[in-house]
Amino acid sequence: MTRRRWMADEFSGNRAVLTGEHADHLIRVLRARVGQEFDVATGTTVRRGRVTEISQHRVEFELGEEIASASATNLTLLLAVFKFDRMEWAIEKCTELGASRIVPAIARRTGTHLVSAAAKRAERWRKIASQAAEQSRRTAAPQIMAPLKLKEAINLTAGLRIVLAETEQGTHLREVLDARQDEQDAGKGARATSVVLAVGPEGGWTEDELQLFHAAGWISASLGPTILRAETAAIAATAITISALT
């Protein structure tokens, strides 16, 4: 039987702790008891953890052997802010798929009411990502950055930077990823061990925003002939890229 995985709120040496609402869920919903074993993620590793003490809003573990876990990918998702309920769904699913960092960006077509509320929303996005990371048995949750203006966000660095554009007709995302791999296999270039994907808001990137991306050296790519919702595009692009990187 697969053990439930938890991400420690505190850890040192052979001890780890869950606190607050995190611990309450284990205590009240799952009815944890002393001696019960779970997998406990402590930043970069996962270890077997035995519950040693349960108190109000706190569960303590004794950590044992390290458990093999999948290696993390280096995929940053530059996600233009769009309707919060749909954006939260995208963050949850892209976390499950393996995105290592999510950067919310303020685009031209981001609604003014969303712009004003985005900064306050970041903490909720982090909580959603943390819960999704535990559910999908990741070693760590992705970094969720504070929202950036697009002019700042396009300066993110990576081995390969791709902007998804509805106007791009000739180049598909998978073709870009495969071409970089082919170059590496032929000894003509470095493999894209890190990738940044830029996904636009509802209505897509404006023409002047795409010009900014191109001027900064980003490659344009398409997900196909159909027009996708922003959250669908983010999830599909993340799945394709993770597949290419692993």
Partnered with residue 51 across adjacent β-strands are 61
> Do 80 and 202 sit in the same domain of this protein?
yes
Q: Where are the alpha helices (DSSP H) in 5-65?
A: 20-24
pTM of the full predicted structure?
0.84
> Do 239 and 175 sit in the same domain of this protein?
yes
Q: Is-contact 209 164, C-beta < 8 A? A: no
> Do 13 and 36 sit in the same domain of this protein?
yes
> Do 100 and 193 sit in the same domain of this protein?
yes
The tens digit of pLDDT for each residue in 101-146 reads 999 999 999 999 999 999 999 999 999 999 999 988 888 899 999 9
Residue 167's pLDDT is what?
87
pLDDT class for 187, splitting at 50, 70, 90?
low
> Do 109 and 218 sit in the same domain of this protein?
yes
Range of the domain at 125: 75-245
| 174, 177, 183, 222, 244 from 187: Cα distances, Å | 20, 16, 6, 26, 18
> Do 119 and 237 sit in the same domain of this protein?
yes
Which of 14, 39, 67 delimits the end of a domain? 67
| 47, 130, 206 from 91: Cα distances, Å | 26, 10, 23
> Do 226 and 115 sit in the same domain of this protein?
yes
Residue 179 maps to which CATH number?
A: 3.40.1280.10
